[in-house]
Structure 1
Amino acid sequence: MDLLPLTAVSPVDGRYHNATKELADYFSEYALIKYRVFVEVEYFIRLCNSGIPQLRHFDGTLNSRLRAIYEQFSLEDAQWIKTKEKETNHDVKAVEYFLKDRFEAMGLTDSLEFIHFGLTSQDINNTAIPYSWKKALTEVYLPQLNALIDALDRLATDWSEVPMLARTHGQPASPTRLGKEIRVFTERLIAQRQQLEAIPYGAKFGGATGNFNAHKVAYPETDWVAFGNAFVEDTLGLHRSKTTTQIEHYDYFAAHCDALKRINTILIDLCRDIWTYISMDYFKQKITKGQIGSSAMPHKVNPIDFENAEGNLGIASALLEHLAAKLPISRLQRDLTDSTVLRNIGVPMAHILIAIKSTVRGLQKLILNENALKADLEQNWAVVAEAIQTILRREGYPKPYEALKELTRINEAVTQEAIAGFVDGLNVDERVKTELKSITPANYTGV
């Protein structure tokens, strides 16, 4: 069968294709080849400015034409390279031959052997992949995460004054406000976003085993370390790992994976809380005409967006855990396992993207059911016991905690009337009694 969303093995390219298709610009085979071409072209341009005698004739006027090779890179170009790869059995070498073909067409025959000069394939892969990873995070992931944070922030503002019964250990606890509980998640997400953005995008660029051996033997007077630093950091906008084997050590990439996992954990926590509030009837959900919640029970509107998000976040974190644990480990100066694993970095990103979009969609469906929140508060007058005993402590009343414990730890509901009767029986000023009676589950919500 032809590869279509209906025939794809992975749901990220099948069922969820519409939610993930933008990632093809960063993680597809086409994208990887394009970014390899990008690095090779920019490296050649940088070489031309390095003082190599054989390249002095190249004055840089062709830079725009050279950059057009990757700026106008097409599926047909990628297919040319894939066809060549079948012959070479080496993906990066096929890119080199592609560029030589294009250079010849541009009349740059004298410069052909300075394409991929002194490099090993990992100098290309370990710059092209972190470059695409950086672009995916900054151009797709972070805007989606920011949209989710903004959605939560709007809800937190809208519901800032809505009192709600808190539950610790699943039991009624000191009341809170719905907006504040939502803002807990925005604060957590913002903090973890800052940590994610602070992690450098590590790249390796230093020849076959990281020492610029071939570069130095050909041009010993050139400061190749300075050249590599400038190319990776100034041209590519990445962070060059200075001392490496044949490959990048991936410690920064592992840190990215760990940071993404922490954000995923927060989002799972959010989804489970919202799911629970829906089950408690705190939220209704907008009904879309024609949609069905259950094939057997017509009344149901299931919180599927939050369930979908939770499942996809779990898959993503499992994959990120493997990436973080595996990639920094390589036998001696290099084995091939990193290359195999790196081809899958777009998969967890796809599952995260699905999850974030599902979460935002679910949040947009929420309808606040204030009557349910009010009823829950009204049925749990025992929660004002903390307030009463704290004020009694202030007044020097003997053993206030124990007095409230006797009132509230009974196997029946504590009513407003029972609280009022307890207050009336206290040996305190009428001023204090009035203060105590003014406290309700709805207004005892702190700051």
Structure 2
Amino acid sequence: MSHEHYDNPLVSRYASKAMSALWSPQVRHATWRKLWVALAEAEHELGLPVSQSQIDELKSRLEDIDFAAAARYEKELRHDVMAHVHAWGDQCPSARPIIHLGATSCYVTDNADLILMRQGMEMLRDKLVATIDRLSKFAVEYKDLPCLGYTHLQPAQPTTVGKRATLWCYDLVLDLEDLEHRIENLRFRGAKGTTGTQATFLTLFNGDHAKVEELDRRVAEKMGFAQRCAVTGQTYTRKLDVQILDVLDGIAQSAHKTGTDLRILQSNKEIEEPFEKQQIGSSAMAYKRNPMRSERMCSLARFVSSVTASIGQTVATQWMERTLDDSAVRRLSIPQAFLATDAILILYRNVVDGLVVYPKVITQRLAAELPFMATEEILMEGVRAGGDRQDLHERVRIHSHEAARQVKEHGLPNDLIERLKGDAAFAKVDLGAALDARRFVGRAPEQVEQFVSEIITSIRQRYQSTLGLAAEELKV
């Protein structure tokens, strides 16, 4: 590894080796060659002067890419696709005349991007499913543990730790649905010609429209695509890039929300992300246990969102049949969006696998607020015991405000229940029973069970083969 040039941290620190390899020059240009072979095969099958021996020669050097030769050609020609055509032609002299026959550069560049993005989405899907599976198991484990709910980040009606985890998990489930949809319905650019009119192919086939259409269909089929773009310019519509990256952005948004929640909960000492024995939280404050995994997850999520925005701008600025100002931004944005999302899901899985829950702290924080939340229940019990609703309401209001003043101004414990016990109007109310937190969580435990039964079970059934995959190692 060279330490004299910039090194992309998405590769060296965050993303998996598999995702990094997917976007490597070797895989990309080998994919170009596979596309050229598919085109040559289809042309041969449909009667063009492309021989089987030429195709066999191309296949024999499919993975053997001379990058040095391609670089020399590109320096001279200033055209990356033609540089690789010439470099491969040097390796396959008899096939040289038919490489790229009838095609435009976007035949290989665009179709390869679609192939790589599909493979990338499949890799992300497997990580997403594993994270959903682990998070749902955490939800079941803690479905009955009451905790303080929050709205506006202020104490609110209690929920359970497990029910809150289903909120995180359901966001990922919706992301999975989007991801599955994009994988299933991804369209291939195909063999559409220089400006999408297939004019060159029509000339090659002597005006036979049926053969031109069949060529397009066969190439797509050979590359594993059931659907093709109905029409294209020189490129496929960049709207496809936006649709795909929007799904990645959705995963990032979900992870950011969970990461933020966990950072707040760790600050409250209720739940902590994994913290290793020798891990250092701060170079100055040795006692610190910072939520660095969740923080990194949020940071990478913001990066994905910023990348997605640039792709949307690219769609808006593609003039007529295409402009080349899409090239540089797509070379940067698309691979990095996949690498960053991959890194996010590695972090998410790592965090969920090692979450530490502190029930006593959770119970203590809930107990400090529960008397206020129990007042409506207490009020109803007082009415059942024969009290006047309006009188009881006023007494609860006065006692609550005084208890809150003691907490806020003097830092004293919440003594609302003690105050109510001293009020004869509540003598017939079982105030102890009113503070049972389980009475205030509604159907939270049952909702967790229903969520797993109705939603998660079907996901597990569809992806049984991927659930046993080991988690990726967290690099840093």
**What TM-score results when the alignment is normalised by the length of structure 2?**
0.80
Render the CA deviation track for 1:122-152: whole Å, top value 9, x for unaligned: 111110111011111212x222222322221
- For 1:294, the equivalent position in structure 2 comes to 282
Residues 245 and 265 from structure 1, CA distance in 2 versus in 1: closer, same or farther, beyond 3 angstroms? same
Counterpart residue number, 2:204: 218
1:154 corresponds, among 125, 130, 137, to 137
1:95 aligns with: 84
The CA distance in 2 between the partners of 1:285 and 1:319, in whole Å, is 27
Corresponding position: 1:415 with 2:416: yes
1:35-59 Cα shifts (integer Å, max 9, x gaps): 111111111112222233x34x63x
2:2 equivalent to 1:4: yes
Render the CA deviation track for 1:414-441: whole Å, top value 9, x for unaligned. 533445567x7369xx7xx569945523
Query: In the alignment, which residue of structure 2 is the partner of 1:379?
Result: 368
The residue number in structure 1 matching 2:450 is none
Secondary structure, counterpart of 1:237 in structure 2 = coil
1:313 to 301, 304, 313: 301
Match of 2:11 in 1: 13
Q: Does 1:173 align with 2:156?
A: yes
User: CA 1:221–1:286 in 2, change beyond 3 Å: closer, same or farther?
Assistant: closer
Question: CA 1:393/1:268 → structure 2, altered by over 3 Å: closer, same or farther?
Answer: farther
Per-residue CA deviations over 1:160-191 (Å, capped at 9, x if unaligned) read: 11110112122221110001101111111111
Q: 1:45 to 1:400 in 2, by over 3 A?
A: farther
Pair 1:335-2:323 in alignment? yes
Looking at structure 2, the residues matched to 236 and 80 of structure 1 have their Cα atoms a distance apart, in angstroms, of 30
The equivalent of 1:196 in structure 2 is 179
Residues 270 and 358 in structure 2, CA contact (< 8 A), matched pair in contact too: yes
Answer yes or no: is 1:274 the counterpart of 2:262.
yes
CA distance in 2, matches of 1:398, 1:417: 20
Measure, in 2, the Cα distance between the counterparts of 1:291 and 1:282. 20
Structure 2 vs 1, CA of residues 21 and 68 (structure 1 numbering), >3 Å: closer, same or farther? same
Distance 1:355 1:258, change over 3 A: same
Residue ranges of structure 1 left out of the alignment (5+ in a row): none
Which residue, out of 23, 28, 42, partners 1:27? 23
Q: Residues of 2 paired with 1:247 and 1:44: CA distance?
A: 20
- Rate the CA distance shift 1:281–1:112 in 2: closer, same or farther, 3 A: same
- Aligned residue among 88, 113, 120 for 1:136: 120
* Distance across 1 between alignment mates of 2:117 and 2:359: 44
**Residue 44 to residue 375, structure 1, CA distance change in 2 (3 Å):** same
Retained in 2: the 8 A contact 1:233–1:240? no
Inter-partner Cα distance in structure 1 for 2:426 and 2:131? 50
1:285–1:366 Cα contact (<8 Å) kept: yes
SS, match of residue 161 in structure 1: coil
The answer to whether residue 258 in structure 2 is matched with residue 260 in structure 1 is no
Q: TM-score, normalised by structure 1?
A: 0.85
Letter in 2 for 1:425: A
Q: Partner amino acid for 1:299?
A: Y
Secondary structure at 1:350's aligned position in 2? helix
In 2 relative to 1, CA 371–358 (structure 1 residues): closer, same or farther, beyond 3 Å?
Answer: same
Higher helix content, 1 or 2: 2
Give yes or no for contact 2:420–2:426 (8 Å, CA) kept in 1: no
Gaps of 5+ in 2: 406-413, 444-476
SS in 1 for 2:269: coil
How many equivalent residue pairs? 425
Counterpart Cα distance in 2 of 1:5 and 1:378: 55
| Inter-partner Cα distance in structure 1 for 2:440 and 2:110 | 57
Structure 1: distance between partners of 2:55 and 2:79: 27
Where 2:66 maps in the other structure, the secondary structure is helix
Q: Which has the higher contact order (CA 8 A, sep 6+)?
A: 2
Instruction: In structure 1, give the amino acid aligned to 2:9.
Output: P
Report the residue type matching 1:372 in the other structure: V
CA displacement at 1:332 relative to structure 2: 1.9
Partners in 2 of 1:254 and 1:22 — Cα distance?
A: 23
Query: Which residue identity lines up with residue 118 of structure 1 in the other structure?
Result: G
Q: Contact conserved, 1:5 with 1:13, CA < 8 A, in 2?
A: no
Identity of aligned residues (%): 20
Change (3 A) 1:268 1:299: same
Residues 298 and 246 (structure 1 numbering): CA distance in 2 closer, same or farther, change over 3 Å?
Answer: same
For each residue in 1:9-35, what CA deviation from the matched residue of structure 2 results, as whole angstroms up to 9, or x when unmatched? 432234x16x34322322223332221
- CA distance 1:384–1:91, shift in 2 (3 Å): same
C-alpha distance in structure 1 between counterparts of 2:379 and 2:56, whole Å: 77
For the Cα contact (< 8 Å) 2:378–2:431, is it kept in 1? no
What secondary structure is seen at the aligned counterpart in 1 of 2:437? coil
Distance change >3 Å, CA 389–CA 162, structure 1 → 2: same
The offset of 1:275, in angstroms, is: 0.7
Shift of 1:249: 0.9
Superposition deviation, residue 66 in structure 1: 4.5
Match of 2:341 in 1: 352
Q: Which amino acid aligns with 2:168?
A: F
CA offset digits 1:285-316 (Å, max 9, x no partner): 55433322111222111111111111111112
Report the secondary structure of 1:164's partner residue: strand
Moved more, 280-289 or 113-122: 280-289
- Within 2, Cα distance between the matches of 1:244 and 1:284? 51
Partner residue, 2:39: 43
Contact 2:187 2:225 in 1 (8 A): no
Q: Distance in 2 between matches of 1:252 and 1:399?
A: 62
SS at match of 1:166: strand
2: distance between equivalents of 1:284 and 1:311? 18
Paired AA for residue 327 in structure 2? S
Conserved? CA contact 2:265–2:271, under 8 Å: yes
Q: Name the stretch that deviates more: 192-201 or 236-245.
A: 236-245
Is the 8 Å Cα contact of residues 89 and 96 (structure 2) preserved in structure 1?
yes
The 3 A distance-change label for structure 1 pair 322 and 38 is same
Measured in 2, the distance between the counterparts of 1:47 and 1:391 equals 84
SS in 1 for 2:45: coil
Q: Which residue matches 2:452?
A: none
Q: Which amino acid aligns with 1:121?
A: S
Closer, same or farther in 2 for the Cα pair 1:322/1:287, shift >3 Å? closer
